[in-house]
A and B are shown apart, each in its own frame.
Chain A
Amino acid sequence: MVVAGPVRAVHAGPPPADPNALAIIASQKTIVPDASVVLLRDIFLKKVVLTPEGDEYIPVNLPPTNPLRMAFNRMVIHMDAQQNELFWDRAYFGGTSPPYVLGSERAVLRFVATENAAIGYVRACFVTPAVKVLKLITLDVPPPARTLAPCPEASGRR
């Protein structure tokens, strides 16, 4: 279920109620005119490529087997892993490269914080003031805790 409406991007504020909610994040400089699921889907499928300033959006994914990637595919892209794989095989044949893949939520956070027009997703507990949250999505199926790195608060790291 989507808990934030299709509104302008918002800065990371007080900690969200659900630290395991999926936060769609962008760098503070990135302008996303309408953070609707439809637009986010089109950015991650590279059907929408240009920011309002004419820069290129840089969507970044987690690895295909990461439970957050699977949840993102299911709730935003509306494809399962197999459908997503076939979509990108076909797009690649047409000359469109799939989004970059970074290995962890920390890597996504670091990359998005420093790259203009980068967009990624991490759990809400990873969000820092270096990025802004475009949308918060409550996961339909909470990922098994053992499959993900602990939240920074839990591990004492940011």
Chain B
Amino acid sequence: MSPRWMRTHEFVEPRSPLNMECRTSASRSLRVINICLVAVVGIFLSSLDATAASSGPGLPPSSYALGQGWFFPQYDLRLGGYTDIKYYQIDHGKRALSVEDASLFVTKDWGSRWRFFTETELTDALNSEGNGVTMTDARIDVERLYLDYRLFDSATLRFGKFLTPIGQWNLTHADPLVWTSVRPLTTESSFASHANGAMIYGTLNVDSNDLDYWLFVDDSAAIGIDTTNDAAFGAYGATNKLKNSFAHAVGGQLLYHMWNGHLSIGGSAATFTMELPNISYSLLGLDIDWSDRFGDVSGEAIRRTSHSPGYPDDYGGYLQGVLNLPSRFFLVGRIERYKSAAVTGRITLRTVGVNYRPSAGVVVKVERVDGTNSRTVSPSGWFASFGLLF
């Protein structure tokens, strides 16, 4: 997820109400957004042309379902997205209401092998800290922008900007899809959430079970698209503004599903150089998820080893439990321990919350976070959100 409202207050450059972020220059930002807009418009127009030759499968001309977007089978085009509204009350600190994300997905398929996908996000669209509503932090981020080519069923090539395949949370981090409003440090603090480059991924059948794999190579230093939106500490109220953007990276993940998909165990590995400070690291991660009709237990652990003297390692992990309650309510609890080079002492975060998911794609969350040594990176407080996948 993008860094949130707090970090934008510390940017030195003046920001327009709708400001396209860019790592190097404003002209580069404009170039990227122009490319996006031209691509989207081009895709849509080519879709319209294509319908003259092919009307697609014999399905209704278009359909909409909450949580599944608006699908136009004639064009093999799907429009959708998600949005979330958040309220937070930091202990002994500020409270605020924020329309944090308004993301638009465009998915366009060409035949059975090519797919274009983009997620463009209006971030921090509206903020209220008790003295009126402001839009001064609003900006447009290109969260994802890639082209997929399916080589065969078990291997797809991806080019562009995509979510870094380390752990499971980062791959499904949208507010309506996760169990808490506050993200565990383990899932974002030690690597960049996004990568720019190429990836091969797919699913292999091993002993009648699925083995998902991802292998990626990043060259953000050369081709980075809108890379400033990866904060090391994106929690609400975090005052540490460290950025996590790759300069170069290579890595991957394996995820093995068993017990009819009810248990998944994964491992991640990567070696990378961060953009600022320019330090090389290697990373190992583990993740596990068990789900049943009673609930879900999941966890991730990570260790980032520094290859530069004077920069200590980061390591930590979390364990989270979700208990299904009647009437689509869920009780959520999580404990996390994390050691960051950016913080003195070991961080402990204890989270207890409730989710209400009245229908597909809709979630209301309320949670309480209590932290030790976490004030600058994930402060204690009350957090609530309304998320909508549309």
Name A's B-contacting residues (CB within 8 A). 38, 42, 47-50, 54-56, 58, 78-80, 82-83, 85-86, 88-90, 92-95, 97-98, 100-102, 111, 114-115, 118
Q: Which residues of A contact B174 (CB under 8 A)?
A: 93
A76 to chain B, nearest CB (A): 10
* Separation of A111 and B73 alpha carbons in the complex (Å): 14
Asked if B293 contacts A93 (CB within 8 A), the reply is no
The CA-CA distance from A34 to B14 in the complex, in Å, is: 61
**Residues in A whose Cβ lies below 8 Å from that of B260:** 78
Interface-lining segment among B31-39, B202-210, B309-317: B202-210
Q: Which residues of B contact A78 (CB under 8 A)?
A: 260-262
- Nearest CB of chain B from residue A109's CB, rounded to whole Å: 12
In the complex, A79→B82 CA distance in Å?
A: 24
Given contacts A42-B210, A115-B57, contact A92 B291 (CB under 8 A): no
Using A42-B203, A49-B150 as known contacts, say yes or no to A82 and B68 having CB atoms under 8 A apart: no
**Contact indicator A89/B171 (Cβ below 8 Å):** no
Report the separation of the CA atoms of residues A13 and B95 in the bound assembly, to the nearest whole angstrom. Answer: 68
Within 8 A of A (CB), among B367-390: 389
* Majority DSSP secondary structure for residues of A touching B: mixed
Known: A89-B176, A94-B171. A54 touches B112 (CB 8 A): yes
For the complex, count residues of B whose C-beta is within 8 A of A: 43
- Complex partner residue of B115 from A42, A54, A95, A101, CB under 8 angstroms: A95
- Once A82-B324, A94-B172 are accepted as A-B contacts, the answer to whether A89 and B360 lie under 8 Å apart by CB is yes
Bound CA–CA A126/B313 (angstroms): 63
Neighbouring B residues of A100 by C-beta, 8 Å? 57, 59, 73
Q: Determine if A93 and B389 form an interchain contact, defined as CB atoms under 8 angstroms apart.
A: yes
Footprint of A on B, CB under 8 Å? 57-59, 63, 65, 67-69, 71, 73, 78, 80, 82, 105, 107, 111-113, 115, 117, 148, 150, 152-153, 171-172, 174, 176-177, 203, 205, 208, 210, 260-262, 291, 293, 324, 328, 360-361, 389
Contacts A50-B152, A93-B177 known; list 19 others, CB within 8 Å.
A47-B203, A49-B150, A54-B113, A82-B293, A83-B293, A88-B68, A88-B360, A89-B67, A89-B177, A89-B361, A90-B177, A92-B67, A92-B68, A95-B117, A95-B148, A97-B78, A102-B59, A114-B58, A115-B58
Do the beta carbons of B177 and A58 come within 8 Å of each other?
A: no
A85 / chain B contacts, CB cutoff of 8 Å = 67, 360
Q: How far is the CA of A98 from the CA of B63 in the complex (A)?
A: 12
What 6 pairs across the A-B complex have the smallest Cβ distances?
A78-B260, A56-B112, A95-B117, A90-B172, A47-B203, A85-B360
- Inter-chain contact B57/A92, CB cutoff 8 Å: no
Question: Could you say which of A80, A92, A111 contacts B69, with CB atoms under 8 Å apart?
Answer: A92
Q: Is the CB of B67 within 8 A of A80?
A: no
CB closest residue in chain A, given B203 = A47
Distance from B329 Cβ to chain A, minimum over Cβ atoms (Å)? 12
Instruction: Say which residue of A38, A49, A92, A114 sits within 8 Å of B389 (CB atoms).
Output: A92
Report the Cα distance A54→B111, complex, angstroms: 10
Q: How far is the CA of A48 from the CA of B203 in the complex (A)?
A: 8
